[in-house]
Amino acid sequence: MALDRLGSSLYDALKKVFRAPVIDEETVKELARDIQRTLLQADMNVKLVLEISKRIEDRALKEKVPPGVSRREHVIKVVYEELTRFLGEKPVPLKVEPGKRKIIMLVGIQGSGKTTGAAKLARYFQKRGLKTALVCTDTYRPGAYAQLQQLANRIKIPIYGDPKAKKSAVIASDGLRKFDDYEVVIIDTAGRHKEEKSLIQEMKMLEKAIRPDEVILVIDGTIGQQAAIQAQAFHDATPIGSIFVAKLDGSARGGGALSAVAAIGAPIKFIGTGEKINDIEPFVPSRFVGRLLGMGDLESLIEKVREAEVHLPEKKMRAFLSGRFTLTDMYDQFESMKSLGPLRHILKLVPGLSYNIPDGMMEMAEDRLKKWKVMIESMTPEERDNPKIFTSSRVKRVARGSGTNEKEVKELLKQYSMMKKMMKTLRRKRLPFFGKKFPIPQG
Ligand code: GDP
Ligand code: MG
């Protein structure tokens, strides 16, 4: 399952929470099961997955909900927090001080994405105004220098290398001398090693010669959980190491790779999300989860949940529940949702909907609301308060008066009776969350 698919599946799971009339044990258990299934499909470690789904369930059911927070908000917050924890608690940025030289050495097995990653990192620091250079020490692979040179030329970053030289350590120190007054020097290395052992040996040798400030292990994200083995070996060998997980775009196993690496506590500092030079980003677990879910950070997420639950005076609420719900009341409800912004915006705020509503449909919804207004205005006060009295001749009159047609008037009436029915069900169930807030109608 590619990461975007993973994201939309998690989103679907959350959507159920959002739409459930009541957040009870059954809803929470179903959510935990959905998340479990989704993560397993994304090749995540079984033990980790069971752990996370259990924690979500436990916290959602047992934790006391703080005052002013609905159970629904709380559950979504728990999911968000636990997914974030799953991918590493806090971002670990790669710090570069302007005016001081930072030597970064990239290691990793052949094909993992080192050379591409070196160019991406160079571009990343260049964009941040730092004087950046590249050094190629890969003396094994024919064309290794040419590959990096081509990338470097494209972004106008100076590069040092010597395709004819044999000793990588010598090239590295020559390069470092040449780029003495640079702020970031990124050293690409050979990755001919098939196994971690020799890779780490070479890494240690080069490390002695270069004395880099930071060694970054580049891991191919498509290898899934296997990434943990590489990361662990590396993590054990050097305390200053960090990880760059490449190829997270469209990979079936990216989630597995990320979570496996995060689980061993090796800091993931960057991720590669495509073949292009700009496809790099610092790894920020919470932001990553937010994006995965198609939402922003937790705060904006909770805000969205709140905005989507429209406030309603308690008196009115009680009246609704006792069956006094008129067409005007229904219209007011939609109108008050609209007052939060255009309907398009409001609907987008409802988790789950933004994934499903095509643009054209959103416009229709807004158009429809306008039509409803005109139709309701064309009704007599009796009709608004008691739509039961509608006969076909009344429907005809309203259609004519509002410049709509009978079908549209009937649709409005149908929507009304559906909502009225919903009110009745809500009254019967005596929903705990249904105190001061009015849920956004679905559909
Ligand atoms: P190296 O052998 O470790 O230096 O790996 P390279 O940088 O040469 O990359 C190996 C292959 O992976 C190349 O075809 C790259 O274009 C590709 N690659 C590297 N990073 C990414 C990435 O983030 N996404 C995708 N889709 N491909 C990548
Ligand atoms: Mg290479």
**Residues lining ligand 1, CB < 6 A?**
108, 110-116, 191, 218, 246-247, 249, 272-275, 279
- The best mutation among 116, 150, 275 to test binding of ligand 1, ranked by most ligand atoms within 8 Å of the C-beta, falls on 116
Q: Do the Cβ atoms of 104 and 216 come closer than 8 Å?
A: yes
Query: What is the identity of the amino acid at 155?
Result: I
* Ligand at shortest distance from the CA of 190: 2
Predicted confidence at residue 404, as pLDDT, reads 92
The angle that helices 144-154 and 114-127 make with each other, rounded to 10 degrees, is 20
Domains in the chain, CATH or no CATH each: 3-87 (1.20.120.140), 102-292 (3.40.50.300), 298-437 (1.10.260.30)
pLDDT of residue 80: 84
Nearest CA to ligand 1 atom 6: 113
Buried b or exposed e, range 129-146, using 16+ CB within 10 angstroms: ebbbbbbbbbbeeeebbe
Q: What is the mean pLDDT of each run of 10 residues along the chain (443 residues)?
A: 69 78 88 90 84 94 80 84 82 89 93 96 94 94 92 96 90 96 95 73 86 93 87 81 88 76 87 92 81 61 53 59 75 60 44 42 64 90 90 95 93 83 59 38 37
Q: What pLDDT does residue 65 have? A: 81
pLDDT for residue 144: 92
Tell me, what's the pLDDT at 330?
A: 74
Widest distance between CA atoms in the chain: 94
Residue type, 443: G
Beta-carbon neighbours within 5 Å of ion ligand 2: 114-115
Confidence (pLDDT) at 86: 81
Atom of ligand 1 nearest to the CA of 274: 24
